[in-house]
């Protein structure tokens, strides 16, 4: 089982709307400025050109902000009626009641093994979608992660009198991986096979088991090797290890991750050179706190031959060329290739123009650190551009379709070291090692931050976060941050982040894939497996609260 996890971005849902008599401008905390524009123009019966949506910065979005809701429509209607700006922002309690959630699930898995291998897998799931009209399918990992000859899966949507679900960072895959990877560990114990060894035997395939398409790149075995070394897997003992105190036990566990992240069209970018030699990059995507702004500035600067501070990024505005919503780990993999093409086009035009000014063939020129470089000479762009008589040098880029007959996926593995207090049932996560194969790492700092944030959010799912509902009334009883327990800085363990960092050159012209969802997927399962290794007790319900750990320990003792 997995319990309902609620959205708690630091910035709640909200919008400010301003109607000037002809055009509506809305500033909204959103993951999809064009998605909000489309929803508002339909609700208000306006033309697309009459709605402008802006999101320059925002305080977090994990799937629930992929469109607008009643607050956006209400603010817009009131502004159109009153002729003045209107602000409508949800309180924290309203956020916990209306922003959606990660569905609670019940999952049943059957695994069969023979000769140290998994020969069959059956996975059936039920997801509580509340009043929602869709369900996040937890059987995705079972269908795609391992090469198993016989796989059967069935997913059911259950409607209840509770709040509707919404997309929540790797919807379905977090819940499904918790169940699948727990079951794989249980089978490994039953067959007396090392859990990592068992996974390796089923992770070597280079083709997607659902489509038979070849993976564009798969370095999962390298993830295993790096993670096992970092956590000290060779020191793992089947019966766990003594902890730091007599009443504590220590254990190691791991779990595997698969997700998409290939991105795709449509996505557009424009780059133009200012008279001072700097560049302005315009895109229609939004930076939801993941570092998109910095990453695409790097791509543009690198392709143009400029310093990073010579590139100005303007994003999060529907007056810019179209960009996709930031969901499904698609942002950088979608817009990044378009940015590179736009910057490349500008560079070629700029060299031709500079060649005319410097009276040299463009083929003998290049741009380095903001200067035109030729044999034995270096001329700053800010000296070349004024001589072009205010000519505008602009380039456009479009994201091309993904290659046919290729499966573009991301892979990873998390390893956990925990201590368990067998008297109180408390789990102390001491260390998480996260290794990811997501193609080229454009910005190591922001990429590592993504992984760290995903792990912390996953620890909430694993240990503390659980919506409490009055069964008779359907009323949420802990719709605040006092009683709904998200991890704090005091709960964060040592986190070691590693990347394979090999460009996926078949995926796109950057070789980069998405990293938004992968870090949250395997952590809870790795922790659960570490708890089982430490104590011999299997906790099959997330979050793994003290009461549930004590119950599992009592069952082991009774048996």
152 and 249 housed in the same domain: yes
349 and 201 housed in the same domain: no
Q: Is the pLDDT of residue 247 over 80?
A: yes
Burial of residue 470, with CB atoms counted within 10 A of its CB: 0-12 exposed, 13-18 middle, 19 or more buried: exposed
179 and 317 housed in the same domain: no
Find the CATH number of the domain harbouring 14: 3.30.365.10
Q: 339 lies in which domain range?
A: 268-398
359 and 453 housed in the same domain: no
- 319-363: per-residue pLDDT in tens? 999 999 999 999 999 999 999 999 999 999 999 999 999 999 999
Rounded to an integer, the average pLDDT of 421-426 is 98
Rounded to an integer, the average pLDDT of 274-288 is 96
Q: Is the pLDDT of residue 471 over 90?
A: no
Q: CA angle 309-315-319, nearest 5°?
A: 135
* Model pLDDT, residue 50: 98
Active site residue 517: yes
458 and 554 housed in the same domain: yes
As separate numbers, helices (DSSP H) first and strands (DSSP E) second, the chain gives 13, 23
Chain-centre distance of CA 166, in angstroms? 15
124 and 85 housed in the same domain: no
CA dihedral over 179, 183, 184, 185, signed as positive or negative? positive
Percent of the chain predicted with pLDDT > 70: 100
Percent of the chain predicted with pLDDT > 90: 95
Residue with the larger pLDDT of the pair 327 and 472 = 327
**Catalytic residue, candidates 175, 345, 466, 517:** 517
Per-residue pLDDT band at 375 (split at 50, 70, 90)? confident
Three-state SS at 200: helix
Q: Is the pLDDT of residue 390 over 80?
A: no
- Residue by residue, what is the 3-state secondary structure of 515-552? CCCHHHCCHHHHHHHHHHHHHCCCCCCECCCHHHHHHH
* Model pLDDT, residue 392: 85
250 and 371 housed in the same domain: no
Per-residue pLDDT band at 457 (split at 50, 70, 90)? very high
Count of domains for the chain: 3
Per-residue pLDDT band at 112 (split at 50, 70, 90)? very high
Burial of residue 360, with CB atoms counted within 10 A of its CB: 0-12 exposed, 13-18 middle, 19 or more buried: middle
Residues 381 and 340: their CA atoms lie apart, in Å, by 20
Q: Is the pLDDT of residue 18 over 90?
A: yes
- 134-185: per-residue pLDDT in tens? 999 999 999 999 999 999 999 999 999 888 999 999 999 999 999 999 999 9
* Model pLDDT, residue 167: 96
Residue in this structure with the two tokens 């795609």, named with its chain if needed: 144
CA distances from 413 to 78, 319, 511 (A): 49, 40, 20
- 220-245: per-residue pLDDT in tens? 999 999 999 999 999 999 999 999 99
Instruction: Give me the chain's average pLDDT, please.
Output: 96
What is the layout of strands, in order, in the sheet containing 268-273? 311-314, 279-283, 268-273, 393-398
Domain end point (choices 377, 398, 419) = 398
192 and 251 housed in the same domain: yes
Rounded to an integer, the average pLDDT of 530-539 is 98
Torsion of CA 167, 139, 476, 544, to 10 degrees: -120
- 187-221: per-residue pLDDT in tens? 999 999 999 999 999 999 999 999 999 999 999 99
Closest CA to 89 of 10, 168, 33, 163: 10
- 397-418: per-residue pLDDT in tens? 999 999 999 999 999 999 999 9
Q: Is residue 26 within 8 Å of residue 53, measured between CB atoms?
A: yes
Domain end point (choices 95, 119, 146) = 95
Residues 338 and 264: their CA atoms lie apart, in Å, by 10
Residues 209 and 146: their CA atoms lie apart, in Å, by 8
């Amino acid at each position: 089982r997995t319990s309902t996890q609620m959205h708690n971005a630091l910035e709640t849902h909200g919008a400010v709307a301003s109607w000037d008599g002809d055009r509506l401008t809305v500033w909204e905390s959103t993951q999809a400025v064009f998605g909000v524009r489309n929803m508002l123009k339909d609700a208000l019966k306006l033309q697309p050109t009459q709605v402008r949506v802006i999101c320059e910065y925002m305080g977090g979005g994990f799937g629930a902000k992929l469109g607008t809701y009643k607050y956006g429509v209400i603010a817009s209607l009131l502004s159109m009626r009153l002729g003045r700006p209107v602000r409508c922002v949800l309180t924290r309690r309203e956020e916990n009641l209306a922003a959606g959630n990660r569905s609670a699930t019940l999952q049943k898995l059957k695994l069969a093994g023979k000769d140290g291998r998994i020969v069959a897998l059956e996975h059936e799931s039920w997801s509580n979608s509340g009043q929602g009209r869709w369900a996040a399918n937890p059987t995705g990992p079972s269908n795609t992660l391992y090469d198993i000859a016989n796989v059967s899966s069935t997913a059911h949507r259950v409607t209840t009198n509770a709040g509707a679900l919404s997309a929540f960072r790797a919807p379905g895959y977090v819940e499904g991986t918790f169940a699948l990877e727990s079951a794989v560990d249980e089978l490994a114990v039953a067959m007396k096979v090392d859990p990592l060894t068992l996974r390796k035997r089923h992770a070597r395939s280079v083709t997607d088991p659902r489509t038979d398409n070849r993976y564009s790149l798969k370095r999962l075995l390298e993830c295993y090797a790096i993670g096992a070394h970092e956590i000290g897997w060779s020191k793992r003992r089947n019966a766990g290890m003594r902890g730091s105190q007599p009443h504590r036990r220590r254990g190691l566990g791991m779990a595997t991750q698969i997700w998409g992240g290939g991105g795709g069209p449509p996505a557009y970018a424009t780059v133009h050179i200012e008279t001072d030699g700097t560049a302005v990059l315009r895109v229609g995507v939004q930076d939801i706190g993941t570092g998109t702004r910095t990453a695409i500035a790097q791509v543009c600067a690198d392709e143009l031959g400029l310093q990073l501070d010579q590139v100005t990024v303007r994003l999060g505005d529907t007056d810019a060329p179209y960009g996709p919503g930031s969901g499904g780990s698609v942002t950088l993999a979608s817009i990044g290739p378009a940015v590179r093409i736009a910057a490349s086009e500008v560079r070629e035009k700029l060299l031709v123009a500079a060649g005319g000014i410097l009276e040299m063939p463009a083929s003998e020129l290049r741009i380095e650190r903001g200067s035109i470089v030729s044999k034995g000479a270096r001329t700053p762009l800010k000296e070349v551009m004024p001589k072009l008589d205010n000519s505008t040098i602009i380039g456009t880029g479009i994201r091309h379709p993904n290659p046919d007959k290729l499966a573009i996926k991301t892979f990873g593995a998390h390893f956990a070291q925990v201590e368990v207090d067998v008297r109180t049932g408390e789990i102390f996560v001491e260390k998480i090692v996260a290794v990811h194969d997501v193609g080229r790492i454009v910005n190591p700092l922001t990429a590592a931050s993504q992984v760290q944030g995903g792990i912390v959010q996953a620890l909430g799912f694993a240990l503390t976060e659980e919506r409490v509902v009055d069964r008779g009334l359907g009323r949420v009883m802990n719709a605040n941050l006092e009683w709904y327990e998200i991890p704090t800085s005091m709960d964060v363990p040592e986190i070691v982040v590693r990347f394979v960092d090999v460009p996926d050159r078949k995926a796109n012209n950057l070789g980069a894939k998405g990293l938004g969802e992968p870090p949250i997927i395997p952590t809870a399962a790795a922790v659960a497996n570490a708890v089982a290794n430490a104590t011999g007790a299997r906790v099959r319900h997330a979050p793994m609260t003290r009461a549930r750990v004590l119950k599992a320990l009592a069952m082991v003792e009774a048996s």
